[in-house]
Amino acid sequence: PIRLTDPPHRSASPVTISEPTLDPDTSRNESTVPARRSFDPERLGLGLLLLAGALLVVVGTGIVTGVLATLALALTLGTVVALIGAAILGGPEVRRKIAPYGLLKPGMLWLALFYLAPLVTLLRNSLSTLPSRFAVKADFDWNFGNYSTAFTDFGGQFQRGFGYAAVATVLTILLGYPLAYVIAFRGGKYRGLLLGLIIIPFFTSYLIRTIAWQSLLADTGPIPNVLNDLGFRPILNALGIMDGDKILNTPAAVIGGLTYNFLPFMALPIYVSLEKINLTLVDAAKDLYSGSVRAFFKVIFPLSLPGVFAGTLLTFIPASGDFVNQQYLGNPNTSVIGQSIQNQFLVQNNLPVASAMSFVLMMIITVFVIIYSRFFGTDDLA
């Protein structure tokens, strides 16, 4: 083998590497030059989506009219054309990033025109003043007094509306949960039939179902007669459910109508949550010495809470503003906020106060939903 050694007369010296020097004629170093920003299709898609929605809201609320409204609609159409053009000319990567905004655009424009625009109009009307009772258009003048009128003059209707809706929601949970439980775990081959029986009431109009309850609860109807024959009248009178021999035109009748009409909205979401539960978890709980009752409260009920949450929202929100049940099953002393809003809109022609009442109702429900969702959580609703 050949062994290489340094020559004896040459001493080893450390190797030094000098830093590169910049050319004095060069005004800036290449490392300090900022990178050029590339085209971001996601920002373009989001910007065009928001711009088109804002233009439709402006046109739908009547803030701009005439030539300006025509120009706003032309710009809205231009945003659609610009989005399509960017997708065509940008290549596959741009189309991949911009496609979600293109798919969102029809639905978002629909919501902007038919939800946000009416909502903004309602807010403007709630801050307006009606020159006279027979005036058609209210004058926008930031009149916050309409909100104080909504609370002071219709506070009882708000309380009854939310109170009836809350009681009806609790009753639908008590009735709907066992119903959904039996169908999910004991339905077997009849599960589809039982679900169909829950959905069958939807084949009939909401109004017709309520009028049918009016006939059932009438003074000479079958339900009061059966209760009187069974001797339940003294107990029901003591509980405040019956008023003498009457059930119709009482708060109990209104709550009963709400419970019946919204029961499917509670039972079906709970069934969906129960149907997804893996029963091996229950078997595992029993192997760890949990009884059936404890396994239910430790395993099944917590896993079904997303269904209870969804059913509560689907029941409480529409029941809070419902007035059909009160109109046909209640009396003037059981008037609720939904009926008062209808009266202010269609009978009294008091658009500002009616708009303020509607906006207050929506805000209260929104606050309730936010608090309720943070308490239960919404991660497993899908």
The CA distance from 242 to 249, in Å, is: 10
- CATH dotted code for 145-376: 1.10.3720.10
Instruction: Please tell me the distance from the alpha carbon of residue 125 to that of residue 106, in angstroms, as a whole number.
Output: 28
Taking the C-alpha atoms of 338, 342, 345 and 349 in order, what is their torsion angle to the nearest 10 degrees? -120
SS3 246: strand
How many angstroms separate the CA atoms of 81 and 93, rounded?
Answer: 19
The H or E element that residue 129 is part of is: strand 128-129
Instruction: Assign 12 to helix, strand or coil.
Output: coil
- Where in the chain are the domains? 41-126, 145-376
Phi and psi at residue 140, to the nearest 5°: -75, 115
Q: What is the pTM of this model?
A: 0.80
pLDDT by residue, tens only, the chain of 382 residues: 445 445 554 544 455 555 555 454 444 444 444 444 566 888 888 998 999 999 999 999 888 888 999 999 999 999 989 988 888 888 888 888 888 888 888 999 999 999 999 999 999 999 999 888 778 788 888 999 999 999 899 999 999 999 999 999 999 999 999 999 999 998 888 999 999 999 998 898 899 999 999 999 988 888 888 888 888 888 888 888 888 878 898 999 999 999 999 999 999 999 999 999 888 888 888 888 888 889 899 899 999 999 999 999 999 999 999 999 999 999 888 899 998 999 999 888 899 999 999 999 999 999 998 888 887 665 544 4
